[in-house]
Amino acid sequence: MKLPDIEIRTGAQDVQRKLAADILFGRLRPGAKLKLAEIGPLYAIGMSPLREALAGLAGQGLVMQEGQRGFRVADVSLADLMDVIAMRTRLEVMALEASIDCGDVEWEARIIASFHKLSRHKRTQEHLIDETWEDLHRSFHLSLIGACGSPRLFTYCAGLLSQFDRYRRIAVLARAQHAILTPMDGKIVDAALERDKVTAALRLRDHIAESGQGVVEMFGERMPRCA
């Protein structure tokens, strides 16, 4: 009898996840130097697995590695943010259209389920960032494109969403003020479930443009400065 088969990870992989989360949630400042001797003890791990984790993140573009000068958190810039928004629009719309073409009832069910959970969640105003909401919101967006048929397209979209959300969180933390959310998600759901490709694409495009504009403005006003 085989045991539950819980995914076994290595220490380096654990740390890699934690570091990725810390970067994506703005807990590590963009451009910050990642001194091995400092953060090693912080994450309770030795040099070798720590470097391994950082190399992995470098491969994903979340950290930069410079010659013999160690690692830094990936930089942010207005130009890069606009690139993220532009590519996210192109690819996420493409993936939504493909999903509307190919999606089955499972796809529909997952959209409805994740949208329901997102709708029912009460955002706490206590912290600037509500991690549960972040998860639900991400899951919802990914559910929309979950039937696009291309693993790569899905992965690209997931990565772009991560990066966009990183910018949003950084902007929110920098201004110490909640983002204005445009809850037009429901309209996208309706169009998607009705298989109205044109309308759904239009609404998703608008949604990304609108939220993108909000982050661009917040980001432009004040350059990020977070712990």
Residues that bind DNA (CB under 7 A): 1, 8, 10-12, 33-37, 45-49, 51-52, 65, 67-71
Q: Which residues bind a second copy (CB under 8 A)?
A: 7-10, 12-13, 16, 47-48, 51-53, 55-60, 65, 67-68, 80, 83-84, 86-87, 90, 94, 150-153, 156, 160
Among residues 120 and 152, whose Cβ is nearest to a second copy?
152
Among residues 46 and 220, whose Cβ is nearest to DNA?
46
Among residues 160 and 172, whose Cβ is nearest to a second copy?
160
The entry of a second copy, DNA, none that residue 29 binds, CB within 5 to 8 Å by partner kind: none
Output the smallest distance, CB 190 to DNA, in A: 46
Core vs surface per residue 66-97: b (16+ CB within 10 A) or e: eeeeebbbbebeeeebeebbebbbebbbbbbb
Among residues 155 and 177, whose Cβ is nearest to a second copy?
155
Among residues 79 and 176, whose Cβ is nearest to a second copy?
79
The entry of DNA, a second copy, none that residue 77 binds, CB within 5 to 8 Å by partner kind: none
Output the smallest distance, CB 207 to DNA, in A: 40
